[in-house]
Structure formats: C-alpha cells, structure tokens
C-alpha cells in the first residue's frame, strides 16, 4: 500500500487543541468516510501502526475505531483488520447522487386507528431517581429566586433562557456531534410539544406525518391532533425503514435507540433516510431517546451531525437525564427556520417557567450535570446486570428477555409455547396489557409491547374501531420492563413477586 490512509486524511492530531486525541481521530475518520475520501471497503491501518506514526497510545486509536464500528462507519473482518463499511451507499458520498431503488420491504402503512386500550402510566423508562442530588437542586432553585431581578421576572425570550441554550449547545456538540449554535435551540415543555409546534410550523395540509411502527404512543397521540395525514413505517433490525411515500412531510424516528425495541440504527440506514428527506424536501425529527445511557462504549453520535442541520430537527428532553417532572425539552432547528418557529410559537405558546431553566443552566454550567450522567451510567449498568442475571431464574418459564446494551428498559416477550393458550382466552384486553399491569402492581415499571403498535382497521372490528381481538392477541406480545429505577436490593424480590403473580394468572 503506497499511500496509507492515515498519512492522507488524519495527520493533524494535536494534544494542544484541548480536544481528546481519540475524538480528533474519530472526527477526521468520520468526515473522510462521509465525503467519500475513504471509500467503502478501504482497509484502515492497524491500530499499532497508526499509534506509532502519531506517537499516541494504541488505546486512543482503538477507542476511535470502536466508536466508528459501533456507529456503522467501519466494520471488522476476523483476521483481516478494520475496513470502511461496505454498506455506506454510494449515492450519499458521491457528488452526483443517484436515486436508490425502493424495495417492497419499505412500504409505508396507511392511516390507521388510534389505540384505545388502557394507557397505563409509562414508568418503564424511569431513571434512577434515588440518585438525583435533590439538596443541590434545591440550592440552585433557591439561588435562582434569591438573585431574581426585573429581567428574570419579566423574561420574554421565546427561544428560552439564553444561558441554558448555550449550555445545551455546548453539551450536544461535545457528546452528540450536533452541529448548532445556541440561537438554533428552542426550549419546550417536552418533545411532544416541540413535535406539535414543528409540524404546525413546517407542514402544509397535503403533507404527511410519518411515525415508526412500533413507536412511542405519545407521538401518535400528537399526530392525531394535526391536520396532516398520519402514515406509519415499519421497523426492522436496522430501525425505521425508509418510507416509500413521495409526499413531503415529517418523519419522526429514534435512531440512537429505537423505542420500544432498542436497536441502534446503522450508518447505511441513516444515510438512506437522509436521502429520502432530500429527495422529498421533507424533514426528519430525530427523537434522541435514551441517548445518554449506552453501557458499551460512548453514546452514539447524532443523525443531525451527519446531515449538518439541513433536513434534521434534533430533539431531546431532560426527563431521563434529570427527572420526568422537570418538563423541559428542546429542539435544535435548522438556522434558516428559526424565525419561522419563533413567529409561530408567539401565536400559540410562550415558554416554560423561567426558574427551572435557570436552575438547569447552573446545573449544567457547573459540571454537576455531566457528573450526574456518569453516576447514572454506572448505577444503571449495575442494576441492569443484576436484573438480567436474576430474570431467567424467576421468569424464564414465561418470558424471554431480549439483550440490550443501552436504555432504561428491556423487552421481555411472552414464550411462544404460551401464546396459543393464553391468546385464545376471552380477556377484554390483550394478554401483555394485563401482564404489564401485574408488574406495575408490585412496583416494576412496565408497559405492554402491543400498545406501541398501530393496527389497521379490518371488516372485523370492535366498537372502539380496533382490529379483532384474535389478531391483537397473537402478535407483538411482550412487556417493556424498567430496571434503572429499581433499588439494587429490591430487584430479585420484585422479580420473584412478579413471577408468583404471573404463574397464578397463567395457571
């Protein structure tokens, strides 16, 4: 090999920039892949070779390579080394883009009826609330009031508290590679509110809202209030399938950790979705669900960072990283759309309460937020380990626990051997709904997997417009079980009690 890739593309590693060397290498590798300078199938130099050339630790090189592999930019071949992923589509990296062929597997689902089964409070995604520094938060809130002046009491910035927006921009750039300045960030009372305002602001009557199926039921509830047609696109092992509709619209996806199934979207699928958005002049709302809590490696970088903020609106909340009742979220909006958002917001909304914004800004600026996230990752990882190890002992006869390396819940599916019997019983609700209620009753956060799917109407429907009970009872049966908010010493006793209640119900 006459020209090693590292001599051409990333010879600028410097310890003087303040950016960790592994992050510098990762950024340069990523840019080289996305611009086509490193073509699919290119073999990367061995980690020892690259470390020696730049006089850095081999662990630095390995960390950058592992992140690239995790995000789908690179792939390893046993005994052959590390290569640029062959699944990076040419139409994205080449200057003259070609339109990809749409396969039959990417069919979008037509408008469907709303799920009207009992919507039990979703607590399967709660963080370790017992680890939150309440005393510190009380001091920050009290300080906000003690120092409040006329400017605070008359705060009228429709984008939100400026120091908080600066803190969010800094955090997202460092942790998620989001390309945006503070002026592109708008503070909302949650992502659902942000979604509604974004759709009302950007979509015309003939446009479509496209949601994942399965997906977060809260987004479907918001979509039902909009004037646009709602479509659903299926999910496979790579996450949301690119829609086949040529309508302009807004696609809502959770690529970092798909809700509810938990898979991470690889690079080649992300690029296909961006290509769809470009071709149809559509927008993608990136719901960065559970992004902070990945337990094998650092959190994955954002779709917005790949797109550069052209077609992607990035959204997040502090419900999982701080606490749910804080009710603060945000959107990162393409710069050219900010005035339009501000004008629309002025007509329909104002902004969340100012004191929680001030307290959160102080929490982030002082470094407490980053320390809290690090503490939560350790706590959640430990509780996940306890939960996963104990689960087969108590519930292995009834449920299969699916592996996951991220998030605050795990999916447990009903044993296939139980489905024929349990799904023919004449219960008023699907089996997994009543089983989720059993878990909730003993203190385990749970939600029925079937409640995350949208079902088509057929000729055989209930009076509430739902598909026949037999169809609902024989597909998508499982439970989302939360582990992160369970105290370590209570996990096994709670699983044992859940097993007893489940055995009584089934037998």
Which CATH number characterizes residue 185's domain? 3.40.640.10
Listed residue (74, 55, 54) closest to 64, CA to CA: 74
Kindly report, residue by residue over 170-203, the tens digit of the pLDDT: 999 988 889 899 999 999 999 999 999 999 999 9
If asked whether residues 179 and 221 sit together in one domain, one would say yes
Six token digits for residue 188: 């909302």
Put residue 127 in one of left, alpha, beta given phi > 0 → left and psi -120 to 50 → alpha: beta
Taking 70 as the threshold, does the pLDDT of residue 119 lie above it? no
If asked whether residues 316 and 173 sit together in one domain, one would say yes
Per-residue pLDDT band for 88 (boundaries 50, 70, 90) equals low
Q: Which of 366, 391, 422 finishes a domain?
A: 366
Q: What is the pLDDT of residue 110?
A: 35
If asked whether residues 274 and 297 sit together in one domain, one would say yes
Listed residue (299, 439, 313) closest to 374, CA to CA: 299
Domain membership of residue 95 (yes or no) is no
Query: To the nearest whole number, what is the mean pLDDT of the chain?
Result: 83
If asked whether residues 413 and 471 sit together in one domain, one would say yes
> Taking the C-alpha atoms of 111, 114, 120 and 122 in order, what is their torsion angle to the nearest 10 degrees?
30
**Could you tell me the CA-to-CA distances from 362 to 136, 450, 502 in Å, in that order?**
11, 41, 46
Q: What is the pLDDT of residue 251?
A: 98
Domain membership of residue 438 (yes or no) is yes
If asked whether residues 362 and 385 sit together in one domain, one would say no
Kindly report, residue by residue over 374-414, the tens digit of the pLDDT: 999 999 999 999 999 999 999 999 999 999 888 999 999 98
Domain membership of residue 282 (yes or no) is yes
If asked whether residues 358 and 227 sit together in one domain, one would say yes
Domain membership of residue 141 (yes or no) is no
If asked whether residues 244 and 358 sit together in one domain, one would say yes
If asked whether residues 182 and 49 sit together in one domain, one would say no
Q: Which of 88, 117, 148 finishes a domain?
A: 88
Calpha distance 2→96 (Å, rounded):
28
Calpha distance 408→145 (Å, rounded):
33
Domain membership of residue 94 (yes or no) is no
User: Contact 211/219 with Cβ under 8 angstroms?
Assistant: yes
Instruction: Report the 10 Å Cβ neighbour count for 260.
Output: 27
Residues 6+ apart with CB under 8 A from 291: 176, 256, 257, 299, 300, 302, 316
DSSP 325-370: GG--EEEE--GGGHHHHHHHHHHH-----HHHHHHHHHHHHTTHHH
Which CATH number characterizes residue 73's domain? 1.10.10.10
If asked whether residues 358 and 219 sit together in one domain, one would say yes
| Full domain range(s) for residue 500 | 378-506
**Please, what is the Cα angle at 138 between 133 and 144, to 5 degrees?**
130
Which CATH number characterizes residue 466's domain? 3.90.1150.10
Calpha distance 368→376 (Å, rounded):
12
Calpha distance 246→56 (Å, rounded):
49
Beta strands in 41-142 (DSSP E): 74-77, 81-84, 108-109
Least confident among 169-178, 345-354, 468-477: 468-477
User: Contact 212/235 with Cβ under 8 angstroms?
Assistant: yes
**Could you tell me the CA-to-CA distances from 230 to 110, 117, 260, 364 in Å, in that order?**
8, 20, 19, 37
Could you give the strand order of the β-sheet that contains 478-482, starting from the edge strand earlier in sequence? 399-401, 409-414, 478-482, 446-448
Cis amide prior to 201 (ω within 30 degrees): no
Domain membership of residue 328 (yes or no) is yes
Domain membership of residue 262 (yes or no) is yes
Domain total in the chain: 3
Q: How many helices (H) and strands (E) does the chain have?
A: 19, 15
Taking 60 as the threshold, does the pLDDT of residue 336 lie above it? yes
**Please, what is the Cα angle at 317 between 325 and 122, to 5 degrees?**
55
Put residue 79 in one of left, alpha, beta given phi > 0 → left and psi -120 to 50 → alpha: left
If asked whether residues 341 and 389 sit together in one domain, one would say no
Q: Which of 59, 88, 117 finishes a domain?
A: 88
Six token digits for residue 287: 């719901």
Taking 60 as the threshold, does the pLDDT of residue 448 lie above it? yes
Per-residue pLDDT band for 34 (boundaries 50, 70, 90) equals confident
Beta strands in 54-144 (DSSP E): 74-77, 81-84, 108-109
Q: What is the pTM (predicted TM-score) of this model?
A: 0.79
Per-residue pLDDT band for 240 (boundaries 50, 70, 90) equals very high
Domain membership of residue 42 (yes or no) is yes
- Mean pLDDT confidence for 133-149: 93
Kindly report, residue by residue over 267-309, the tens digit of the pLDDT: 999 999 999 999 999 999 999 988 888 887 666 788 998 888 8
Higher pLDDT, 476 or 262: 262
If asked whether residues 221 and 352 sit together in one domain, one would say yes
**Could you tell me the CA-to-CA distances from 344 to 87, 97, 194, 350, 390 in Å, in that order?**
40, 35, 12, 10, 51
Burial of 3 (0-12, 13-18, 19+ CB in 10 A): exposed
3-state helix, strand, coil split of the chain in percent (to 5) is 45, 15, 40
Taking 80 as the threshold, does the pLDDT of residue 168 lie above it? yes
Per-residue pLDDT band for 106 (boundaries 50, 70, 90) equals very low
If asked whether residues 187 and 236 sit together in one domain, one would say yes
């Amino acid at each position: 090999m006459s020209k090693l890739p590292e001599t051409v593309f990333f010879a600028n590693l410097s310890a003087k920039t303040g950016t960790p060397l592994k992050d510098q290498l990762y950024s340069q590798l990523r840019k080289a892949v996305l611009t086509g300078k490193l073509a699919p199938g290119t073999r990367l130099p061995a980690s020892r070779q690259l470390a020696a050339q730049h006089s850095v630790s081999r662990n630095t090189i390995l960390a950058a390579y592992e992140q690239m592999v995790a995000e789908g930019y690179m792939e390893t071949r046993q005994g052959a080394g590390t290569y640029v992923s062959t699944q990076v589509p040419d139409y994205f990296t080449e200057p003259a883009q070609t339109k990809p062929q749409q396969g039959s597997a990417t069919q979008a689902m037509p408008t469907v009826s709303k799920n009207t089964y009992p919507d039990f409070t979703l607590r399967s995604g709660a963080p370790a609330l017992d680890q939150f520094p309440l005393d510190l938060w009380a001091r920050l809130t009290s300080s906000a009031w003690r120092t409040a002046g006329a400017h605070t009491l008359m705060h009228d910035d429709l984008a939100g508290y400026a120091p908080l927006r600066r803190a969010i921009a800094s955090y997202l750039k460092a942790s998620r590679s989001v390309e945006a300045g503070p002026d592109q960030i708008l503070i909302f009372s949650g992502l659902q509110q942000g979604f509604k305002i974004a759709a009302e602001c950007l979509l015309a009557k003939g446009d479509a809202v496209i949601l994942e199926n399965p997906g977060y039921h809260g987004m479907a509830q918001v979509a039902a209030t909009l004037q646009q047609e709602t479509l659903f696109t299926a999910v496979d092992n790579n996450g949301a399938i690119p829609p086949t509709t040529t309508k302009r619209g807004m696609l809502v996806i959770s690529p970092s950790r798909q809700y509810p199934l938990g898979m991470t979207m690889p690079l080649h699928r992300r690029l296909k979705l961006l290509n769809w958005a470009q071709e149809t002049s559509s927008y993608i709302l990136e719901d960065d669900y559970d992004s902070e809590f990945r337990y094998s490696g650092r959190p994955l970088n954002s779709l917005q960072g790949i797109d550069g903020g052209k077609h992607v609106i990035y959204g997040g909340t502090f419900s999982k990283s701080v606490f749910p009742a804080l009710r603060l979220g945000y959107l990162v909006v393409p710069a050219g759309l900010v005035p339009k958002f501000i004008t629309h917001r002025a007509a329909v909304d104002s902004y969340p309460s100012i004191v929680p914004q001030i307290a959160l800004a102080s929490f982030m600026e002082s470094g407490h937020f980053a320390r809290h996230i690090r503490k939560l990752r350790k706590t959640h990882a430990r509780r996940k380990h306890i939960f996963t190890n104990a689960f087969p002992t108590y519930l292995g006869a009834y449920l299969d626990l699916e592996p996951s390396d991220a998030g605050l819940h795990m999916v447990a599916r009903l044993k296939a051997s139980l489905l024929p019997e349990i799904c023919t019983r004449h219960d008023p609700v699907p089996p997994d709904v009543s089983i989720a209620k059993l878990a909730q009753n003993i203190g385990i956060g749970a939600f029925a997997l079937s409640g995350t799917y949208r079902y088509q109407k057929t000729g055989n429907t209930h009076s509430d417009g739902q598909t026949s009970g037999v169809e609902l009872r024989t597909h998508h049966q499982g439970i989302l079980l939360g582990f992160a908010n369970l105290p370590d010493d209570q996990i096994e006793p709670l699983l044992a009690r859940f097993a007893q209640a489940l055995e009584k119900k089934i037998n």
